Amino acid sequence: MTRADRPTIRDVARAAGVSKGTVSFALNGRPGVSEDTRERILTAALELGWTPSTKARALSVSRSFAVGLVLAREPELLGADPFFPAFIAGVERTLSDRGQALVLQVVPESEEEAGYRRLAGTGRVDGVFLLDLRVDDPRIALLEELGLPAVSIARPDGPSEFPAVLVDDRPGIAAAVRHLAELGHRHIAHIAGPAHFLHGSRRRRAFEEALAEAGLPAGPVVEADFSAAGGAAATREVLATGVTAIVYSNDLMAIAGLSVAVELGVAVPAELSVTGFDNTDLAAYVTPPLTSVRTDPYLWGRKASEALLDLIDGRTVDDVPVPAAQLVIRASTAPPPPGVRTETP
């Protein structure tokens, strides 16, 4: 079909027996059109094969019909960590359904603020997602200053006028610690994510609180960077302390830890129990299959997109609840080896 052959709003109006203005109001979801009329217009548009011109829509309502995501991560890590493709897939599914586009920028952390300012200054996006929340995150105030609508993944630790997808990692970490304690482990370590990331610090705090609630002594905590290399290096450090179990802050580091254990001749789970976080597809297929905390970044992406588009449309948007993280028990966890003291000091 050539450009000249494509049906226009005038064609839809003629088929539905209404004015062009009524068609425009109906197709853009504006008030003032009865449901019967709106349905007749939508049916006519579908039968004619009419599709909107994004350029015309943007000019008519001063909208870009795109939303932004700025990620201050190393590109190599984005490719290795399954969380980001799953989240972006959820975002794209919703955006595609509603005729929107995603503008993705991967930048060094030093250029993150400039990235948001460019998106706002050029009018390339109507709103943004806030991922990888920081402790005392300065981006909240920045986006308020720029006037960009936003939805955060998790509730920030300070004031925020923006709605959040209510992701809470703490129950998953607590469940992993309880599971290990019930198996008889008393010397449990945590390989954490970066402390300046809110999910890294919250998972660490959940680990420490869960140990205390189980009546266990504080275990060693090593901060890593969520990468396989970081997880491997941290595993070597932790194994020197004589722990019998390690709770990792993501699957990528946990799987790297399994490899280190094999290299050092430490049998999993006979001599060392291991838990991950995110329950990535690979977790069920490593040897031994990895006990991990199930999350749903695809759903988070869908929910965040729906909330952000509603916010851009001027609707009131509340925080969005999502299912709590759940522990999936597999073969990488077992009781500690015989002869290891299991009583609480």
| Spatial separation of the C-alpha atoms in residues 321 and 296, rounded to whole Å | 12
Place of tokens 């504006």: 30
The total of other beta-carbon atoms located within 10 Å of residue 280's CB is: 24
* 312: Cα separation from own chain's centroid: 20
Q: Say which residue the tokens 């420490």 belong to.
A: 208
Question: Residue 93 CA to chain centroid, in angstroms?
Answer: 14
Give the pLDDT of residue 3.
45
Spans of all domains in the chain:
9-52, 66-167+297-323, 170-293
Which CATH superfamily includes the segment(s) 66-167+297-323?
A: Response regulator (3.40.50.2300)
Q: Does the pLDDT of residue 244 top 80, yes or no?
A: yes
Q: How many residues appear in the chain? A: 345
pLDDT (0 to 100) of residue 344: 46
Cα dihedral angle (108, 113, 118, 124), rounded to 10 degrees?
A: 90
In the chain, the N- to C-terminal Cα span, in Å, equals 78
Q: Are residues 165 and 153 in contact, defined by beta-carbon separation less than 8 angstroms?
A: yes
CB-based contact 291:329 (threshold 8 Å): yes
Q: Which superfamily does 170-293 belong to?
A: Response regulator (3.40.50.2300)
What is the DSSP pairing of strand 188-192 with strand 245-248? parallel
What DSSP state is assigned to residue 87? H
The answer to whether the beta carbons of residues 100 and 309 sit under 8 Å apart is: yes
| Per-residue model confidence as pLDDT tens digits over 164-187 | 999 999 999 999 999 999 999 999
pLDDT at 61 over 60: no
Cβ atoms 49, 85 nearer than 8 A:
no
Specify the residue for token string 């140990």.
Answer: 211
Predicted confidence (pLDDT) at residue 6 exceeds the cutoff of 90 = no
Q: Are 227 and 257 in contact (CB under 8 A)?
A: no
Q: What is the mean pLDDT of residues 199-218?
A: 97
What pLDDT shows up at residue 28?
63
> Quick one: tokens of 154?
């998790």
The dotted CATH code for 9-52 is 1.10.260.40
Q: Which residues pair with 248 in a beta bridge?
A: 191
Distance CA(178)–CA(272), nearest Å, equals 16
Encode pLDDT of 79-114 as tens digits: 788 899 999 999 999 999 888 999 999 999 899 999
**Token pair for residue 119?**
């998106």
Per-residue pLDDT band for 7 (boundaries 50, 70, 90) equals: confident
What's this model's pTM, rounded to 2 decimal places?
0.81
- Retrieve residue 108's tokens: 């060094």
Q: Return the number of other C-beta atoms located less than 10 Å from residue 146's C-beta.
A: 16
pLDDT tens sequence across 268-313:
999 999 999 999 999 999 999 999 999 999 999 999 999 999 999 8
Instruction: Identify the burial level of 71 via C-beta atoms within 10 angstroms of its C-beta, where 0-12 means exposed, 13-18 middle and 19 or more buried.
Output: buried
pLDDT > 70: percent of the chain: 92
Does residue 42 carry a pLDDT above 90?
no
Tell me phi and psi for residue 6, to 5 degrees. -70, 140
Please check whether the two domains, 66-167+297-323 and 170-293, share a CATH topology: yes
What DSSP line would sit under 118-185, residue for residue? Answer: HHHHHT--S-EEE-SPBTT-THHHHHHHHT--EEEES--SS--SS-EEE---HHHHHHHHHHHHHHT-
Residue type, 137: D
Residue 324 has, within 13 A of its CA and on its CB side, a CA count of 8
One-letter amino acid of 92: E
